[in-house]
Amino acid sequence: MERENELGDYLRARRAAVAPVDAGLPDDGSRRVPGLRRDEVALLAGVSTDYYIRLEQGRERHPSEQVLRAIAGALRLDDAAATHLFRLGRPVFGEAAVTTVAPELLRLMDGMRDVPAFVVGAAQDVLAANALATRLYSGFARYDNLLRMIFLDPFAREFYTDWDRAARIAVGNLRASSSRFPREERIERVVGELSVRSPAFAGLWARYEVRPRTHEDKHFRHPRVGEIRLHFEALAVTSAPGQHLSVYSAEPGSADADALVLLGRPAEREATGPAEAAELQA
Q: What is the pLDDT of residues 238-267, one digit of tens each?
A: 999 999 999 999 999 999 999 999 999 876
Q: Which CATH number characterizes residue 43's domain?
A: 1.10.260.40
Do 144 and 125 contact (CB within 8 A), yes or no? yes
Q: Is residue 176 domain-shared with residue 65, that is, in the same domain?
A: no
Domain assignment present for residue 223? The answer is: yes
Q: Is residue 107 domain-shared with residue 82, that is, in the same domain?
A: no
Domain assignment present for residue 147? The answer is: yes
Q: For residue 251, give the 3-state DSSP assignment.
A: coil
**Chosen domain end from 89, 120, 137:** 89
Q: What are phi and psi of 188, to 5 degrees?
A: -60, -40
Domain assignment present for residue 39? The answer is: yes
Q: Is residue 253 domain-shared with residue 153, that is, in the same domain?
A: yes
Q: Is residue 175 domain-shared with residue 78, that is, in the same domain?
A: no
Domain membership of residue 231 as a residue range:
103-280
Q: Is residue 82 domain-shared with residue 120, that is, in the same domain?
A: no
Q: Is residue 58 domain-shared with residue 133, that is, in the same domain?
A: no
Angle, helix 6-16 to helix 49-57, in steps of 10 degrees: 120
Domain assignment present for residue 95? The answer is: no
Domain assignment present for residue 1? The answer is: no
- Cα 50 from Cα 146, distance rounded (Å): 42
Domain count, the chain: 2
Q: Is residue 110 domain-shared with residue 238, that is, in the same domain?
A: yes
Percent of the chain with pLDDT over 70: 92
Do 156 and 222 contact (CB within 8 A), yes or no? no
Q: Which CATH number characterizes residue 266's domain?
A: 3.30.450.180
Compute the C-alpha angle 251/138/259, nearest 5°.
Answer: 25
**Chosen domain end from 54, 89, 124:** 89
Q: Is residue 224 domain-shared with residue 121, that is, in the same domain?
A: yes
**Chosen domain end from 89, 121, 136:** 89
Residues in the chain: 282
- Cα 229 from Cα 184, distance rounded (Å): 33
Q: What is the pLDDT along the chain (282 residues), one digit of tens a residue?
A: 445 788 999 999 999 999 998 888 887 777 778 899 999 999 999 999 999 999 999 988 889 989 999 999 999 999 889 989 988 888 766 568 899 999 999 999 999 999 999 999 999 999 999 999 999 999 999 999 999 999 999 999 999 999 999 999 999 999 999 888 888 899 999 999 999 999 999 999 999 999 888 899 999 999 999 999 999 999 999 999 999 999 999 999 999 999 999 999 876 544 433 333 333 343
**Confidence at residue 275, expressed as pLDDT on a 0 to 100 scale:** 37
Which runs of E-coded beta strand occur in 71-202?
117-120, 126-129
Domain assignment present for residue 94? The answer is: no
